[in-house]
Amino acid sequence: MRNLSERAQEAKDKKAAIGPDVDLSSYTAEPVRHDYVEDLKKIPEADRLRMIQSGIDASENGRSGTYIQMDTAVVHSHARQEGLEVIPIKEALKKYDWAREYYWKLVSVDADKYTAAAELHLHDGYVIRALPGAKAVWPVQACLYLDKENISQYVHNLIIAEEGSELHVITGCATSPHLKRGLHVGISEFFVKKNAKLSFTMIHHWAEEVMVRPRSVGIVEEGGLFLNNYICMKPVKSLQMYPTTHLVGKGAVARFYSILVGSPGSEMDVGGRILLKAEDTRAEIIARAITNGGKIISRGDLVGEVAGVKAHLECKGMILNGGIIHAIPELQGKVDGVEMTHEAAVGKIAQEEIMYLMSRGLSEEEATSTIVRGFLSVDIPGLPPKLKAEIDRAIDLSSKDVM
Amino acid sequence: MLLIEDLQVKLGEREVLRHIDLQINSGETHILFGPNGSGKTSLLMTIMGYPQYRVTAGKISFKGVDITNMPINERAKLGIGMSYQRPPTVHGLKTKQMVQICGSGGDVDIEGMAARMNFTDFLDRDINAGFSGGEIKRSELLQLMAQKPDLLLFDEPESGVDLENISLIGNTISELLQRDVHPSPDKSQRQVRRERTRMGLIITHTGFILDYVTADKGQVLFNGVLSCSNNPTDIFMCIKEMGYEECVKCAI
């Protein structure tokens, strides 16, 4: 096999299949120096506040580990629980042979110019791993932070739940309050081994001129469960991603949940693809999109390749105050005996519901925000209650801005 | 007191209520009879303040305040509450949260009230999502228990309710309207009646509710006109025997 950098070189100008093209040369990829901090409380308050809004708690209450990267530099990385590992990826690739067994194994380095650039300019990223049988009590938190104006951040993450383990990751991507323009490219590869359980919750908190191109692929083995939650309720210039997961072992389950709020000037093109390749596998993709004037393309694709699999796709959109919601749900059944359904709806807030709540004493504004809040609240089975509370809190914080 | 004077209402271009005069004094409960499409629900929705019911003439006052053009939520705050026949589902809003909203965020014993309404299992379900006719009625009453309005509007509270729950619904309405009878050591029943403040307006098709709730007056709405006002049981007997058309002749 030709080496990775050769393949990346060849693909460095290859446009992505979907989403507006980004001129990578208009951003700087030069490493930026930020000192490592032992004590998270030493992170400036303004930055800490931004991190809190994307689920990162500097006091580490209820966390089993932390990884923080500012621009191109790792500023903190450690695990607080036996059986969990949190390691910067460059260090992992240098020190441990096993890291190479996961690196670029699911995402193709030459998929497009973004994957190629992530190999050519790698600015670190995290490896989070639960050892066989380890059960994380609390989620590991990871933050990828943009601080320097006009930076392009290229990161690569590996998330590995070994056999029989349970791992929860909450990852927040945010920008410093002053940053206007930037680019984030994040490669993520998820490995859920036999009978392991992984929940991965990503909260994005970008700025109005930031371009975002995540590329992620997961694999779930026999009896494994992968919950993938994504929340982006803040402005972003352009976000395009189409995370894909392969269910390869008997009884593997994947559930994707996403909550998107599109502000004026934002374009979000977010999909989810799950390939059901083994018997008794189950998949669910649930998306909620609200636009206040932004453009949201909500894609979903379920591919049933074996008889007896079950999959459901649900995409609901609400246009509050102008904007576009384009729902593209797709189902591909490739054999007899698959059971696959989808449900898509785009609408507005029903006046009848507003008045019903007003007749119970709420003002029109309160009634509207109550309905929006309800629309965005999705029951996610299998999520630890604490993490669910965390997600609810993030949604509450953000939904105040929606109105 | 609720006072409606010469009220005329249009829904779209259609006149749905004509020259309505109605007075419900403090402590009174009235039963509203009328065939399908006679305008009963329109009258309740107009009192509640739904803007699609356009008041073209006349006046509604409540507690001495002209509420003819008041928004729904302000009427609710003033003490008007409604039990709907077919309320909308609000996805993601739990019944528990809705009851909390009705209690204006104050200290409400939701669990206790739900237990009395045999509704505990529904508290964590989205409000009205997949509820049966009877479940909707119990949910609506639960909300009114928390809201404690002074004027309660009931749109067919017994429709779709199974026999097992009809007495629960009937007795709860009676209680909400301070119509339940229980011995009081230091007050005569006459005094208890005098101290009643809650007002009620109940739409009924079947009259079943009369087995549980005492009422002061019956009103018959026919083609958008309040045509007859009398003892509710008399009216009900008359409608049962002769039908609405004959019954309203007493007034025309």
Nearest CA in chain A to B97: A370
Cross-chain residue pair A361–B102, CB shorter than 8 Å? yes
Whether the predicted pLDDT of B248 surpasses 90 = no
Asked if B55 reaches chain A (Cβ–Cβ under 8 Å), the answer is no
d(CA B104, CA B99): 9
The residues facing A289 across adjacent strands are A260, A317
Q: How many CB atoms lie within 10 A of CB A15?
A: 12
Closest CA to B68 of B81, B86, B49: B49
Asked if B50 reaches chain A (Cβ–Cβ under 8 Å), the answer is yes
Measured in angstroms, the CA of A214 and the nearest CA of chain B are apart by 29
Cross-chain residue pair A358–B90, CB shorter than 8 Å? no
Tell me how far apart the 2 most distant CA atoms of chain B are, in Å. 56
Q: Which residue has the tokens 């990503």?
A: A202
Please tell me which of the candidates A353, A359, A363 has its beta carbon nearest to residue B90. A353
d(CA A46, CA A52): 10
Asked if A359 reaches chain B (Cβ–Cβ under 8 Å), the answer is yes
Q: What is the pLDDT of residues A150-201, one digit of tens each?
A: 999 999 999 999 999 999 999 999 999 999 999 999 999 999 999 999 999 9
Whether the predicted pLDDT of B239 surpasses 90 = no
- What is the percent of chain A with per-residue pLDDT over 70, rounded to a whole number? 98
Q: Which residue has the tokens 């939904």?
A: A399
d(CA B183, CA A321): 58
Cross-chain residue pair A378–B92, CB shorter than 8 Å? yes
Decide yes or no: CATH 3.40.50.300 for domain B2-85+150-250. yes
Residues A240-252 have a mean pLDDT of 98
Asked if A363 reaches chain B (Cβ–Cβ under 8 Å), the answer is yes
Please tell me which of the candidates B71, B76, B88 has its beta carbon nearest to residue A360. B76
Closest CA to A128 of A213, A58, A203, A191: A191
Residue ranges in A54-181 assigned as alpha helix (H): 89-95, 97-100, 113-120
Chain A residues lying within 8 Å of B126, measured CB to CB? 374
d(CA A76, CA A94): 18
Per-residue tokens: A317: 């959109």
Closest CA to A356 of B205, B76, B201, B189: B76
Q: What is the pLDDT of residues B164-194, one digit of tens each?
A: 889 999 999 999 999 887 777 788 888 888 8
Of residues A54 and A85, the one with the higher pLDDT is A85
In chain A, % helix, strand, coil (3-state, to 5) comes to 20, 40, 40
Asked if B183 reaches chain A (Cβ–Cβ under 8 Å), the answer is no
Please tell me which of the candidates B71, B88, B101 has its beta carbon nearest to residue A353. B88
pLDDT at position A401, please?
A: 65
Please tell me which of the candidates A353, A362, A378 has its beta carbon nearest to residue B73. A362
Asked if B141 reaches chain A (Cβ–Cβ under 8 Å), the answer is no
Name B28's Cβ contacts closer than 8 Å, sequence gap at least 6.
Answer: B199, B200, B216, B217
Interface probe with A: pick from B93, B124, B154, most Cβ of A within 10 Å: B93
Average pLDDT value for chain B = 92
Q: What is the pLDDT of residues A60-73, one digit of tens each?
A: 888 999 999 999 99
Please tell me which of the candidates B77, B87, B126 has its beta carbon nearest to residue A361. B77
Please tell me which of the candidates B81, B92, B101 has its beta carbon nearest to residue A376. B92
The residues facing A257 across adjacent strands are A229, A286
Of the pLDDT bands very low, low, confident and very high (cuts 50, 70, 90), residue B249 is confident
Asked if A345 reaches chain B (Cβ–Cβ under 8 Å), the answer is no
d(CA A385, CA B126): 19
Interface probe with A: pick from B73, B89, B100, most Cβ of A within 10 Å: B73
Residues A28-41 have a mean pLDDT of 91
Q: What is the pLDDT of residues B188-215, one digit of tens each?
A: 888 888 888 999 999 988 888 899 999 9
Chain B residues lying within 8 Å of A350, measured CB to CB? 88
- On whether ipTM exceeds 0.85, the answer is yes
Cross-chain residue pair B72–A363, CB shorter than 8 Å? no
Closest CA to A81 of A25, A140, A32: A140
Asked if B110 reaches chain A (Cβ–Cβ under 8 Å), the answer is no
Interface probe with B: pick from A286, A288, A359, most Cβ of B within 10 Å: A359
Chain A residues lying within 8 Å of B102, measured CB to CB? 360-361
Asked if A376 reaches chain B (Cβ–Cβ under 8 Å), the answer is yes
Measured CA to CA in angstroms, residue B125 lies from A259, B87, B97, B108, B181 at distances of: 21, 15, 10, 18, 34
Please tell me which of the candidates A361, A370, A378 has its beta carbon nearest to residue B73. A361
pTM of the full structure: 0.86
Asked if A370 reaches chain B (Cβ–Cβ under 8 Å), the answer is yes
Cross-chain residue pair B73–A370, CB shorter than 8 Å? no
Domain residues of chain B, as ranges?
2-85+150-250
Interface probe with A: pick from B45, B84, B90, B143, most Cβ of A within 10 Å: B90
